[in-house]
Every structure is written in C-alpha cells, then in structure tokens.
Structure 1
Amino acid sequence: MENYSNQPYQQQPVSPPKNWLVEAILVTIFCCQIIGIVAIVFAAQVNSKFAAGDYAGAQSASKDAGKWTKIAFFVGIAWVALCLLWIFFWGGLAMMSNRYGY
C-alpha cells in the first residue's frame, strides 16, 4: 500500500487561460497578416495543451498569443499612421505645386 500523504498535491485549474483566438483572427484580418498568423498559432495551442494536462504550457501559449496579438495590433496601427502621413505629404505637395503653378 502506498502512502500518498508525502506526495505534493497540485490542484488543477478549473478553466483554461485566455486563448486570444478571436483577437488574433481579427488582428490578422485587419492589421498585420504575418504577425497575426503567429498569434493564431499560439492561440490555437492554448486549449489543446490545457486539455492534455499541460497547464504550464497552456499558460505560456496564452502569454505568447497575447504578446503577438498586441504586437500585430500596434504594427497595424503604425502602418496606417505611416500611410496617412504619406498620403497627406504627397497630397499637400500636389496641392502646393498646383497652387503656385510648378
């Protein structure tokens, strides 16, 4: 008969960590496709690792999915800002050249 009292008891989490899948898909569609795909890959790993009993792996995948989702979001915002600056620069230049007859 084994004595289980000396073995450490580890309570299993009740719910899986946030998987960021919806956010990763939206960021992939609207902001940055390449980084968004990386976020989707990590987000897809969260539930499968949790179901397999790898709680630390699920937590790590959730953290990585959140990180890549946020990076893709801010890269997308920066890209839109740069495009708007580019448009305003060339539009202003065209307006000035048209105004002064260059």
Structure 2
Amino acid sequence: MNTSQTYVPNHLVWAILSTLFCCLPLGIVSIVFAAQVNGKLAAGDVQGAQDSSDKAKKWAMWSAIAGVSLVVIYLIFIFAMGGMAAMQQ
C-alpha cells in the first residue's frame, strides 16, 4: 500500500485542547499517541498509525468526558452547599 496516498488523522488538535481544557493526565496520553501517527505513516506502518490514531481519539474523548464530569460534580456540590447554607439561616 502506498503510504503517500494513505491519510490517517492524528487527532493532535483535539488531544491538545482536551489536555488544556479538560483533564491533564488523560490528555497527555492522547497527545503521546497523536504524536506517533505521522512517524508511523512515514515508516510505512499504516496499521500502527491507525492504531495510534484510534487510541489518541479514545483518550481525548475520555479526557473530555472526565473534564465535563468533574465540572458537573463541582457545580452540584456548590449548589448543594449553597442550599444547605440557605436552610441554616
């Protein structure tokens, strides 16, 4: 298979954004896998590049889910504490 005609997305932008705005540890894993994609394509390892691309996407998605979940839990906690403070007055 000719690697010059094979396109495998590296999901690097999504990995960086999920690292900055969502969950740092999971986002870093996503960046590592995203960075491997182009090197594997250049070496002719299309299957390896696809595998790294899939993993980068998966880890970026989990980073985004974790970030949103933490924000929701934080907001629930803040509203619950505010409600308890209002009940004590």
Describe how 1:34-45 pairs up with structure 2 within 5 A: 34-45=25-36
- Uncovered stretches (5+) of structure 2, i.e. residues with no partner: none
- Three-state SS of the structure 1 residue aligned to 2:33 is helix
- Uncovered stretches (5+) of structure 1, i.e. residues with no partner: 1-10
Find the counterpart in structure 1 of residue 2 from structure 2: 12
Residue 90 of structure 1 deviates from its aligned partner by: 0.3
% identical equivalent positions: 48
* Higher RCO, 1 vs 2 (CA within 8 Å, ≥6 residues apart): 2
**What is the aligned counterpart of 1:26 among 17, 31, 55?**
17
Query: TM-score w.r.t. structure 2 length?
Result: 0.94
Question: Which digits, 9 at most, give the CA deviation of each residue in 1:7-58, with x for residues without a partner?
Answer: xxxx324143110100000000000000000000000000111011111100
Aligned length: 88
> Equivalents in 2 of 1:44, 1:53: separation in Å?
15
Find the counterpart in structure 2 of residue 73 from structure 1: 64
**What is the aligned counterpart of 2:77 among 71, 74, 86?**
86
Contact persistence 1:19–1:43 (CA under 8 A) = yes
Higher alpha-carbon deviation: 14-23 or 76-85: 14-23
> Equivalents in 2 of 1:94, 1:48: separation in Å?
56
**What is the aligned counterpart of 1:57 among 48, 56, 60?**
48
RMSD over aligned CA atoms reads: 0.9
Residue 96 of structure 1 deviates from its aligned partner by: 1.3
Report runs of 4+ in structure 1 exceeding 6 Å deviation. Answer: none
Comparing both structures, which one devotes a greater share of its residues to helix? 2
